[in-house]
Every structure is written in C-alpha cells, then in structure tokens.
Amino acid sequence: MRLHRLDITAFGPFAGTQRVDFDELSAAGLFLLHGPTGAGKTSVLDAVCYALYGAVPGARQSGQGVTLRSDHAAPETRTGIRLELTVAGRRLEVTRQPPWERPKKRGTGTTTDKAQTWLREYDTAAGAWKDLSRSHQEIGEEITQLLGMSREQFCQVVLLPQGDFARFLRADAEARGKLLGRLFDTHRFAEVEKRLAERRRATESEVRDGDAVLLADAHRMQQAAGDALPLPELAPGEPGLADAVLGWAAVARSTARERLTHAHCARTAAESLRAEAEGLLGGTRERARLQRMFAEARERAALLEERSGLRSEAQARLERSRKAERVAPALDLRETAEAEHRQAAIDEARARTRLPGTFAQDGAAGLAAAARRVAEELGGLESARRAEQRLAGLAAERADLEREERADETVLQDAEEWLAGWERADLQARIDAAQQDAARAEQFAVQREPAQRRLRAARQRDELARDTDAAQARTLASRERALKSREHWLDLKEQRLKGIAAELAAGLVDGEPCTVCGAVEHPAPAQRVAGHVDRDAEERALAAHRDADEQRAEDERRLGLVREALAAATAEAGDAPTSLLAEEWEELERLYGTARAGAARLHSAREESRRNEHEWERRTADRQQAALRGAARISRRDALDREQASLEEELLRARGDAASVSARSAQLERRAALLADAADAARAAEDAAQRLKDADARLADAAFRAGFDTPRAAAEALLDDEAHRELQRRLDAWQQEEAAVRAVLTDADTVAAAQQPPADLEAVERAAEAAVRRLQEAVSAQDAAARRCTELDRLSVRAGVAVRRLAPLREEYDRVAGLASLASGISADNERKMRLESYVLAARLEQVAAAATVRLQRMSSGRYTLVHSDDRSGRGRSGLGLHVVDAWTGRERDTATLSGGETFFASLALALGLADVVTDEAGGVRLDTLFIDEGFGSLDDQTLDEVLDVLDSLRERDRSVGIVSHVADLRRRVHAQLEVVKGRTGSVLRQRGAG
C-alpha cells in the first residue's frame, strides 16, 4: 500500500482545504511531520485512517462525523477527506464526507445532510477515473479486503504508536495476549477452547441427565416392587451403574410374577362365596317387600273408611257449582254495567262542579246548546287578534327607527369632528423631507465603499511596512549564514581534495588492483595526516550549506511577496495618513446613518397619507348617507302613527272588559271546553243507568232457570277455576287410592307372603356385604400385582433403551473432556499448562521477536536481542514472556529494566518487526508507507543516527517512512518535511521535498 495524495477540508484543526503530496515526501524514503504541540500532526494520521475505515484511531474514535468537524471552518464549508493510494496494484481514490449540519438554503435554522462516501479507480487504458461505489458498507468491505487488515491492525502496523509498544514491552502476559489477539485475529482459537469447554459441559450434563433418568426409573421400579427388594446405593456418573440397575430389575420382575399368581387363586375363591350370598339376599329382600306392602295396604283402607263423609260433601259441592256456572255470564254482565254506571256518575259530578251556577240544572241537551253559542262568539275574535299582533309590530318598528336615528346622529358628529381636524399639508411636508433624506443616503452609499477600501488598504500598508523591515532583516541574516556555510563547505572540500590520496590509500588491499592505476602492488601508500576531512564531514557541510541556501531563498521569496503586497496597498491607499482616512470614514458613516434613518420614515409617511385620504372619503360618504336616511324616517313615522290609531279603535270594540283580545279569546275557549265536557259526561251517565237496569232483569231470569231462589245464592255457589280443580283432584285421588288398596289386598303372592314369618333381612345383608368385601380385596390384590408386573416390564425396557443410548454418549464425553482439558492447559499431557490460544500467540510472538531483533541489534550496536520465553509468570498464562539479552553481560533480563532511550528503540524495533509479521499474515500486502509517532526525544545523537539508519534501510524494501515528532534536531537530519502551522483561525500545512 502506497499513499499518493491526501486532501483535508474542515477536519480537526484545519479550517480550509489542505493538501499533502506523499509522492514528493516519499521520494527521499524518509520524511518528517512536525509542528508545535496541538497544531494537528496526529490529525493528519487521523485523516488517513478515517478515509480508509470511516473512523479515527483508538480513543479518538467518536463514531459521529460532527465531532470531527473543524471549529474554525465556515458554516458553508463541508467536512471532507480525499485519499489517493495504490494497493494490490490498483490506484484508488476514497472520498468521505461525515454527516454535516449546514444552514438551510431557505429560511432560518439548520438541516443535517447524510454522510457521503465515494470510491473511484484510475483506468490506465482509458486514462480517466471511473466510479466504483457510493455505498458505505461496500466501500468498507472493499478497502478491508484489499488491505487485508482491520482498522486496529492498520493503526498498529502502519501508524506505529510508540507509546503502545513501550507499554507492550513492560506489560504482563494477559495484556500482551489481548494486543496480539487483536492483531493476529486468534479469537478463533479461543473460540475453539470455548467450544470444547462448552461441548464438555454439554456432554457431561447429558451423561449426568441420562444417569439421573436411569436412576429415576430404578426408583420407580423400587416403588412398584415394594420394600421387599431394596435398591443398591448408586449415584449419577458412577461406573457400573447401568449393569447394577438392569440386574436388580430382572430380580424384581421375577418376584412380581409370583405375587400375581397367588392373587389370581384368591380372587377365584372369593367370587364363588359372593355368588351364594347374593342369591340368598335376593329371596329374603322379596319376601320382606311383600309383607311390608300388605301391612301398608290395610292401614290405607282404614283411613279411606274414616274419610267417606268428606268425600260425599265434596261431590255435592261440585254438583252445585256446575249448576251455578249457567248463571255466570249474567253475573259478569251485571257487575260490568254497575261499574260503568258508578264511574259515569262520578265524571258527571266532576264536570258540573267546574261550570258557573247558571248551568247547574241544565241537562245534556242544554249544555250542548250553550257550548255552540260560546264557539260562535270565539270565531268572531279572529280579526281582532290579527289587529292586536300588528299593533305590537308597529311598536317594534318605531323602536327600530329611533335606534337608527341615534346611530346616524353619532356618525354625523364623528364625521364633522374628524373632517374639521384633518390637515393635509403637514403630511406632505413629512413626505418631502423623507424623500430628501433618501436621496442623500444614496449619495453617501456610493462614497462608502471607496472610503472603506482606502482605509483597509492604509491599515494593510502600515502593517506590511513593518513586515517589510522584519523580512529585510531576516533576509540579510540568512544571506550571511548561507555565505558562511558555503565558505565552510568549500574549505572542507579543498582540505578533502588535498588528502584524497590518503583516503584512497586507506582502501588498498595487497593483491587487489588499485582503483586509480590498476596495480596490484602498493609499495608506498599515502598516509593520512592530522585534521583530515572525510567524505561524511564534507557531505554534512554540503547539507548545511543547502539548508542555509534554501532558507535564504525562502526569505528572499517572502520579502518579495511582502514588497509586492506593500506596493499594492500603497497604490490603493495613497499617501494619506491612516488616522485621517479613519476620521473621514467615521464622519461618512455618521452622515450615512442619519440619512438612512430619515429615509426610513418615507414609507410610513406615505402610508399614513394614503390612509387619511381614504378615511376622508369614507367620512364624507357616511355623512351624506345619514342625511338621506333621516328624511326617509320622518315619512315612515307619520304612516305608522295613522295605522296605530285605526287599530286601537278596532281593538277597543272587540276586547270588552278583558285586558286584551288574547285574554278574551282564552276566556271563551275555556268556557266552551267546560260546557262540551259537561254535556258529554251527562250523556254518558244517562246511558250507563239504562244498561244497569237491563242487566238486573237478565240476571234474575237466569238464576230462576238454574234452580236458585235468588241471584245472590247463585253467586255464592259458583266456584272459581282453582277451587274447582282442587275439588276435582281430591275426588280423583280418593278413587285411585281405593283401587290401589283393593289390588294389593287381593293379590295372591302378597297374601301368601303375609302368612309367612317375618324375614331377618339385616343378618342376610351383613353376610352378603362380607362376601363382597372379600371379593373386592382379592380383585384389588390381583390388579395391584398385575400393574406392578406391567410397570416393572415397562420400566425395565426403558432402562435397557437408556443404557444403550448412553453408551456412545459416555464415549463421546470421555473424548471431548480429554480434548478440552488439553486445549485449556489443565491436562497432564500439557506439560507447560498452555492454552491453545496462548500456544498460537506464543508462536506469533516468537516470530515478532525474531523480526524485531534484526533491527534492534543495529539500533543498539549489537548489544540487545529480543527473545521469547515460555515460562509461566506468577499465576498468569505461560508462553507470552518477552526478555532482552544483553551482549555486554551475556545475561537475559526483563524488558522493564531498559532505560527510556533503550525502551524507545526496542519498542520501535518491536513495532517494525510486528508490522512485517502482520503484513505477511495479511496475505503479503506491501506496506510502502509507514508512520512513526513520537518518542525520538529520548535518544542521544549517536543512538538517533543508528535509529535513522535503520529507518533509512527500510527503503531497501521500497518503503517510505514518516516520522511524527517535534524534536528540533530531526529537522536538520530529515530534509523532506511536512510542517503543521497553527494559528487563531486554524492550522495549515507547509510541505518541502528533499531536493
């Protein structure tokens, strides 16, 4: 994987868009990313990780794009990262934009845009980019598959965090295991351990459950067999449990069958005894029943003889009731007529009490004639009623006219007062003044922008003048330093040329040709003199000269830029002092503000004038309309007066002594209704009296024909339906009882049984019950024996099936338990007590230690070697120990004893070795760009040179390494640099190549 270009916009501390050209930085193989603390060095690495994986490394991961946005960015600038890289031979471009809360295009407030992701690939044949995907998930899977590592692995092997590896050196086995497990993805081996342990517990549980079921069946068989055969003491999991249960079950089944045979013989004997007892009991019960029936029949016959008089009286009473039933219709008719006559007399009396005394003696015909006369008088009041209603309407109309008159008077008074106080000239003067202020505001607005530009240019002119002086001083100083460094380099070069013969002679070997003359003999080689300058010293002087010359060129370029800006600002501002331009600008702003305030009143004045004109027209029209309505009201009031006088005269005649026509009409209506009701009641009373007289005559005739002396005697003999039915039922019951008694006393079997001695039924029943109980006990004993045999057979069969099923399960448990113990490190066969995952991680750690030792020996001048240890540390896991061998002492010691600088280059070597191993683990994906984050400040100059030589050697594998540090000495040693400059408005990036 090689990085080419990175664009950062509104991300972290970067407010605008910053670009990093990794191709230029990587040309030298080693480049430096530096800047002050908090400037944003780590944010550059965060941007690379976010572009690839959509998240930042470690604790800085937030998961929400809003927190990644720069606080210095403009509201309309969207956060975005674009990374161009080559991986697996494909040149790709990844663009990510996190969710963005931006201002709304219409209205106020903000809205949130969703996250966006693009993936493009450069088509070499077409010479253009082509889109691959816009799906977050698809792009994430594609990048992870191409790189062959997760985000955690990428952050560990590409963004080498030295602090993490320093802790890794000093960590215990558990902490090392967690880190290595994440990097090498060994969780599958832990899953194997877990699955084996779970399988062991599952098979053990199944075996124990099977043994528990088998023992439960054995206890059930013991309950079925009884206490005569005790069950051996057994527990789940014990060897030989199955054979013991099956043997005991066979003995129990044999014993149960013997008991079943004995019970069957006892039942046969009990059945014979019960049959004899039941036959004897049946005959005795029948004789006792017949004797009891004969005695009861004789008692019932005596009782019937005693009640014979009551039976004759009832028959006579029933016969008399049947004769009276022929008189019942006449009795009902007479009762109905009497009730109607009584009610009609009450209604007539009540109706007459409501009439005046003049009608008290009138009959039905007289009352009807009086009612007709009152109705005729009531019909003549209809015209007077309409006149009375119209008179009330005239009063309402007169009241409406008075309300309209008062309202018109108010309108006229308001209109006169408003028209008298309206002044048109004052409003026009206000409008003219506002128009003049608007014209002055436009003139001042034209003058504002040039004045503001001149003031801004004057201030910039003053500031650039000061910057020009400082830039000139820096340029002179850099020129002097560049000249001195050049002179120093030329002096060293001249000295080296003078001693070049001695330098060449130092490489001569007897028997090998000279690089100058080709001779193989070297009789008198030149000798090195004191103060000889070697090639390294000359190259360092040349590098210092180049740095100084580059700084001089940079200072001259900056001086030219400042001078150009000063000239432009001077041309814009002129020679006028800044203070004078500021005073002119403030005076112009004051005049402009005053004119705008006056112009702002133009619209309100015009609106007020328009409203007053409209109000004047409305008030004038209201006054005219009120005058017209007043004239119409005078004419209408006269017409109403004439109509009212006519109606009052008509009502006076029709009302009489009543207060109103309605009152008179109500009096007549009540009188007509009372007369009509009284006439109806009198006619109904007369009709009811005639019907009562006719009913009395018919009743007397019907009673005489039925054989009764008076109608009252017929009424007393009559029975209601309930009494008639009850009397008939009693007669029928007496007759049925007499027939039943006669049948029993004349039956031959009953008479014969009565002549025999009384039966002893209780003794026979006790003997029969004893025989039944004996049979029931025998049957219960046989059924219990049969159930016991059946249950024992069933449980024995089930136990046999369970034993056959548990056999392969127990074999599987023994096999799985052995594997689980071996993988978890608790088996005796596992000599080092290492878990499976620890074993795999130990092999990976051994590879990492070997790869790290190659670089650690160069960094430590051959002193230190990292070795892997399988020893157990305390109670922790074994196989993950890491020690360092000191060649000076020949002893192996813990990595925690290393000094700060030694810990740094040891952790750096470990990080580089881990990167190589993880890269090989990821399928051999080339990692051509690496970053090392901080830690160089703890090294001395010699160790720093050795570390830089090791990092520089990474170019042998075509790698480029970026060092993230603020150590000043590295700026002189590493020429390709990416500087992060922080400011109040955000940080910016400055890039310099190795040329």
| Secondary structure of residue 886 in the 3-state scheme | strand
The radius of gyration computed from the CA coordinates of the chain, to the nearest angstrom, equals 66
pLDDT higher than threshold 80 for residue 558: yes
* 956 pLDDT tier (thresholds 50, 70, 90): low
Report pLDDT digits (tens) over 660-691. 667 767 777 777 777 777 777 777 777 778 87
pLDDT higher than threshold 70 for residue 66: no
Q: What percent of the chain has pLDDT over 70?
A: 79
Residues 478 and 548: their CA atoms lie apart, in Å, by: 7
pLDDT higher than threshold 50 for residue 65: no
Q: Are strands 976-981 and 988-992 parallel, antiparallel or unpaired?
A: antiparallel
Residues 513 and 554: their CA atoms lie apart, in Å, by: 48
Q: Which of 78-87, 211-220, 241-250, 626-635 is most confident?
A: 78-87
Pseudo-torsion of CA 778, 783, 784, 787, nearest 10°?
160
Which residues does 429 contact at the CB level (< 8 Å), separation at least 6? none
C-alpha torsion sign, points 759, 763, 765, 768: negative
Mean pLDDT for 562-577 is 76
Q: Which two tokens stand for residue 813?
A: 């448990």
Q: Out of 265-274, 336-345, 433-442, which region has the weakest mean confidence (pLDDT)? A: 433-442
pLDDT, greater one: 582 or 662 = 582
Q: Which two tokens stand for residue 196?
A: 């084996």
Alpha carbon 676 to chain centroid, angstroms = 84
pLDDT higher than threshold 60 for residue 467: yes
Nearest CA among 848, 842, 837 for reference residue 917 = 848
Nearest CA among 822, 838, 819 for reference residue 830 = 822
- DSSP for 46-82? HHHHHHHHSS-SGGG--S-HHHHB-TTS-TTPPPEEE
Mean pLDDT for 445-456 is 77
* 6 pLDDT tier (thresholds 50, 70, 90): very high
Which residues does 23 contact at the CB level (< 8 Å), separation at least 6? 4, 5
CA atoms within a 13 Å half-sphere pointing along the CA-CB vector of 866? 33
pLDDT of residue 64: 44
* 876 pLDDT tier (thresholds 50, 70, 90): very low
Mean pLDDT for 726-738 is 78
pLDDT higher than threshold 80 for residue 653: no
Q: Which two tokens stand for residue 953?
A: 């050697």
pLDDT of residue 63: 43
One-letter amino acid at 196 equals L
Report pLDDT digits (tens) over 809-856. 777 777 777 777 776 666 656 656 667 667 777 777 788 788 778 877
Return the residue matching tokens 């007397």.
Answer: 700
pLDDT higher than threshold 60 for residue 995: no
Report pLDDT digits (tens) over 168-188. 666 666 666 666 666 666 667
Nearest CA among 951, 931, 964, 953 for reference residue 158 = 931
Q: Are strands 881-886 and 864-869 parallel, antiparallel or unpaired?
A: antiparallel
* 862 pLDDT tier (thresholds 50, 70, 90): confident
Q: Which two tokens stand for residue 573?
A: 């501002």
CA angle 308, 310, 312 (to 5 degrees): 75
Are the C-beta atoms of 812 and 203 separated by less than 8 Å?
yes
Q: Which two tokens stand for residue 409?
A: 């008077």
Specify the long-range contacts of residues 654-663, CB closer than 8 Å, at least 24 apart. 654/381, 654/383, 654/384, 654/387, 655/384, 660/388, 661/381, 661/384, 661/385, 661/387, 661/388, 662/385, 662/388
Q: Out of 72-81, 536-545, 748-757, which region has the weakest mean confidence (pLDDT)? A: 748-757
Nearest CA among 161, 141, 29 for reference residue 915 = 161
Q: Which two tokens stand for residue 867?
A: 């070795």
Q: Out of 358-362, 525-529, 796-800, which region has the weakest mean confidence (pLDDT)? A: 525-529
- Helix locations, 898-940, DSSP H: 900-921
Which residues does 874 contact at the CB level (< 8 Å), separation at least 6? none
C-alpha torsion sign, points 446, 452, 457, 462: positive
Mean pLDDT for 398-405 is 80
Return the residue matching tokens 């985000």.
Answer: 151
Are the C-beta atoms of 660 and 388 separated by less than 8 Å?
yes
Element holding 160 (H helix, E strand): strand 159-161
Nearest CA among 27, 178, 8, 163 for reference residue 77 = 8
CA atoms within a 13 Å half-sphere pointing along the CA-CB vector of 545? 17
Mean pLDDT for 861-872 is 76
pLDDT of residue 61: 56
CB atoms closer than 10 angstroms to residue 657 = 7
Residue count (the chain): 995
Q: Which two tokens stand for residue 597?
A: 């305030």
Residues 568 and 460: their CA atoms lie apart, in Å, by: 10
* 874 pLDDT tier (thresholds 50, 70, 90): very low
Output the 3-class SS for 945-988.
HHHHHHHHHHHHHCCEEEEECCCHHHHHHCCEEEEEECCCCCCE
Calculate the alpha carbon distances from 861 to 146, 887, 890, 910 in Å. 38, 10, 15, 16
Q: Are strands 976-981 and 30-34 parallel, antiparallel or unpaired?
A: parallel
Nearest CA among 158, 173, 27, 303 for reference residue 875 = 173
- DSSP for 346-386? HHHHHHHHTS-GGGTT--HHHHHHHHHHHHHHHHTTHHHHH
Report pLDDT digits (tens) over 116-132. 999 999 988 888 899 88
CA angle 35, 39, 41 (to 5 degrees): 65
- Model pTM score: 0.40
Are the C-beta atoms of 782 and 264 separated by less than 8 Å?
yes
Q: Which two tokens stand for residue 253?
A: 């089944």
Residues 297 and 98: their CA atoms lie apart, in Å, by: 114
Mean pLDDT for 52-72 is 69
Q: What percent of the chain has pLDDT over 90?
A: 4
| Average pLDDT along the chain | 76
Residues 643 and 313: their CA atoms lie apart, in Å, by: 97
Element holding 120 (H helix, E strand): strand 116-123
Q: Which two tokens stand for residue 863?
A: 């002193």
Residues 377 and 366: their CA atoms lie apart, in Å, by: 17
Expressed in angstroms, the distance from the first to the final Cα of the chain is 24
Q: Out of 552-556, 872-876, 911-915, which region has the weakest mean confidence (pLDDT)? A: 872-876
Residues 323 and 314: their CA atoms lie apart, in Å, by: 15
pLDDT of residue 258: 78
pLDDT higher than threshold 80 for residue 542: yes
Report pLDDT digits (tens) over 768-818. 788 888 878 888 877 877 777 877 787 788 777 777 777 777 777 777 777
| Secondary structure of residue 842 in the 3-state scheme | helix
pLDDT of residue 833: 66
pLDDT of residue 881: 75
Q: Which two tokens stand for residue 406?
A: 């008062």
Return the residue matching tokens 């002492």.
Answer: 889
Q: Which two tokens stand for residue 864?
A: 């230190």
* 19 pLDDT tier (thresholds 50, 70, 90): very high
